[in-house]
């Protein structure tokens, strides 16, 4: 009997030690758990910010290929945000239309993928009117043109207008990646970056094939015009050289060996990165993240953009 009692109390204390150890162990484990929570909030803001660009791309490509946008194909994804201004069906040849339609559906997938991971925000007011694009092109060229540039007039102009779009998103994903703390966030951003840079590469390759043709109404070649757009973005971003046209001085080409520049990259041919602030300066067309305008007449949405206006 006595032995059994001793045994029993030994057993009880062993169980208690075990239990205590486990509780203690759990408490030790809970501090990285807290970190994970704060990382999720920082990651959330960084994952939500690109929705601004994904909305723009989705609407521009959907309208360009189909003549209607998210309100018709995926109204939930807008979360009640206003319809884009001035977007319209573009007069595209069969190959360009086929490719742009693929891009359009890819952007719908991107919006859904981001919102699966974070709550997100409503579609911001977008201005996709011809005037909005003509303003950017005139600013890049350095002179107002009449009749104005019309992105929806033909495949050509539409591709040049598209040159404005995925590249900025791409640099944003490159910039966001090292700031993300959770592996699942980095996985999402790597997946978005892969397709975004693929879109940019397709657009650039199609334009590269037409590099020496003349852009109306500007009377300069496609290659020269892409250089002007890239120069404008470098100027607005205020962070040095992060953007390159389709033909560059040899020193800026891959390994300093070539002037053809179908893909933009730094001296090691790595993609350039941009911060959200640099992106806002560019897409607002104001060079100032506190002064909305351009494609976002009322400003971009979400915690990061709203810090500034
Ligand atoms: C949109 O909302 C409907 C009904 O509320 C829901 O069944 C559907 O899954 C939602 N779709 C998306 C893409 O969120
Ligand atoms: C276009 O530019 C070329 C040379 O740069 C010039 O010779 C030509 O006159 C210009 N055409 C128009 C319509 O301005
Ligand atoms: C950006 O705009 C804000 C608001 O107008 C202004 O206070 C700020 O000085 C501007 N920043 C720069 C760098 O011009």
Query: Cα 163 to chain center, whole Å?
Result: 13
Residue from 236, 234, 235, 216 nearest 225 by CA = 216
Q: Count each helix (H run) and each strand (E run) in the chain, helices first.
A: 11, 2
Instruction: Please check whether residue 191 is in contact with residue 52, taking contact to mean a CB–CB distance below 8 angstroms.
Output: no
User: According to the model, what pLDDT value does residue 40 have?
Assistant: 83
Q: Give the chain's end-to-end CA distance (angstroms, integer).
A: 79
Residue 260 Rama label (left phi>0; alpha psi -120 to 50; beta)? beta
> Is the shortest distance between the CB of 42 and ligand 1 below 6 Å?
no
CB atoms near residue 225 (< 10 Å): 25
76 lines ligand 1 (CB under 6 A): yes
**For the whole prediction, is pTM greater than 0.75?**
yes
Tokens, residue 264:
């933009």
Which ligand 3 atom sits closest to the C-alpha of 238?
A: 13
Indicate which residue's Cα is closest to atom 9 of ligand 1. 76
Question: For the chain, which residues make up each domain, given as ranges?
Answer: 44-306
DSSP state letter for 301: -
CA distances from 83 to 112, 122, 260 (A): 18, 11, 39
75 lines ligand 1 (CB under 6 A): no
Closest ligand relative to 219 C-alpha = 2
The residues of the chain scoring below 50 in pLDDT are: 1-2, 11, 15-35
112 lines ligand 1 (CB under 6 A): yes
Q: Report CA-CA distances (Å) from 112 to 31, 75, 277.
A: 32, 12, 24
Residue linked to tokens 């040049």: 160
Alpha carbon nearest to ligand 1 atom 1, residue: 76
Task: Report residue 165 as tokens.
Answer: 């779009």
Q: Compute the distance from residue 256 Cα to the ligand 3 centre, in Å.
A: 37
Residues whose beta carbon lies within 6 Å of some atom of ligand 3: 288, 290-291
**Residue 91 half-sphere exposure, CB side, CA atoms within 13 Å?**
7
The DSSP symbol for 85 reads B
State which of 288, 289, 308 you would mutate to test the pocket of ligand 3, scoring each by most atoms of that ligand within 8 A of its C-beta: 288
- Adjacent-strand bridge partners of 296: 293
pLDDT score of 257: 98
User: What's residue 24's pLDDT?
Assistant: 43
């Amino acid at each position: 009997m006595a032995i059994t009692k001793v045994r029993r109390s030994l057993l009880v204390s062993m169980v208690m030690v075990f239990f205590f150890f486990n509780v203690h162990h759990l408490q030790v484990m809970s501090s990285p758990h807290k970190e994970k929570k704060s990382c999720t909030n920082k990651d959330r803001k960084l994952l939500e910010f690109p929705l601004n660009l994904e909305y723009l791309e989705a609407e521009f490509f959907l309208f360009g290929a189909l003549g209607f946008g998210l309100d018709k194909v995926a109204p939930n994804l807008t979360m009640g945000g206003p319809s884009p201004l001035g977007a319209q069906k573009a007069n595209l040849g069969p190959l360009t239309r086929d490719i742009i339609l693929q891009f359009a559906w890819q952007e719908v997938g991107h919006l859904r993928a981001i919102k699966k991971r974070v709550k997100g925000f409503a579609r911001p007011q977008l201005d996709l009117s011809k005037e909005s694009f003509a303003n950017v092109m005139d600013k890049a060229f350095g002179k107002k043109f009449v009749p104005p540039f019309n992105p929806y007039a033909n495949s050509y102009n539409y591709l040049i207008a598209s040159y404005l779009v995925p590249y900025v998103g791409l640099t944003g994903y490159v910039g966001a990646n090292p700031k993300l703390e959770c592996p699942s966030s980095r996985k999402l951003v790597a997946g978005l970056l892969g397709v975004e840079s693929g879109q940019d590469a397709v657009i650039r390759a199609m334009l590269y094939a037409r590099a020496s043709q003349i852009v109306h109404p500007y009377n300069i070649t496609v290659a020269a015009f892409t250089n002007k757009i890239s120069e404008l973005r470098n100027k607005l971003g205020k962070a040095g050289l992060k953007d390159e046209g389709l033909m560059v001085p040899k020193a800026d080409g891959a390994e300093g060996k070539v002037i053809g520049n179908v893909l933009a990259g730094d001296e090691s041919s790595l993609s350039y990165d941009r911060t959200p602030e640099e992106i806002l300066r560019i897409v607002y067309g104001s060079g100032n993240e506190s002064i909305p305008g351009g494609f976002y007449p009322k400003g971009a949405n979400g915690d990061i953009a709203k810090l500034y206006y």
